[in-house]
Amino acid sequence: MANYSKVDHVIFDLDGLLLDTETFYLHTATELCKSFGRTFTMELREKIMGLPGPEYSRAIVEMLNLPVLPEEYYAHSRHEIKNLFPSAKLMPGAERLVRHLHQHGIPIAVATSSSEESVNLKLTNHKELFSLFHHIVMASSDPEVKKGKPSPEIFQICASRFPDKPKPDKCLVFEDAPNGVKAALAAGMQVVMVPDEHISEENKQLATLVLHSLEDFKPELFGLPQY
């Protein structure tokens, strides 16, 4: 069995990890690109997953050579997707893990590339659960976050906002996207990856641990209280 270092703080990504919202992004991008006569492929999706909205939009426009400005694409995308966000459901195992860590006094936070506006919509039906987090860093509208994932900045800032400012090696990150995994590792943190079925094996290699679902996580592997 692999050796994992003991941690005492946990940071979660949001989209595709705690909330099942990646399907919304996929549907919106697919339909928007189709309207311009282009195909939004799984390969492209894998490259840009986890990027902040403006960067995500710019990458799509540039890689597919869309006949529209990135700002215009982003505006169209936000308009289409915001109506879907309030229906977001929790991913399997998310609620159990969050409540378990909170009940045992483990400090937890969220580090997401999303904006405050979109996060509020996504949490429409989950406000009580997310009140258990010490804080949520929303990169797209946080003035302190200058660079999106795969930059380590969001995780460094997230860790610094815990009252005891834990060292990177005491933080465990949960991610679903390759860019998020790279960001967490660059921040000096261990990272558990819960990728969707379209992520290539190559992009799973960097993660400290890869799981099929949050339901499969064993907290004791990282020195956290056992279920």
Report the catalytic residues.
Answer: 13, 15
Quote the DSSP letter at residue 190: E
Beta partners for residue 111, in sequence order: 137
225, 222, 15, 220: which is closest to 105 by C-alpha?
Answer: 225
Cα separation, 154 vs 184, in Å, equals 9
Question: Which token pair is 89?
Answer: 């459901």
The 8-class DSSP code of residue 225 comes to: P
Phi-psi region of 138 (alpha: psi -120 to 50; beta: other; left: phi over 0): beta
Whether the CB-CB separation of 10 and 158 falls below 8 Å is answered with: no
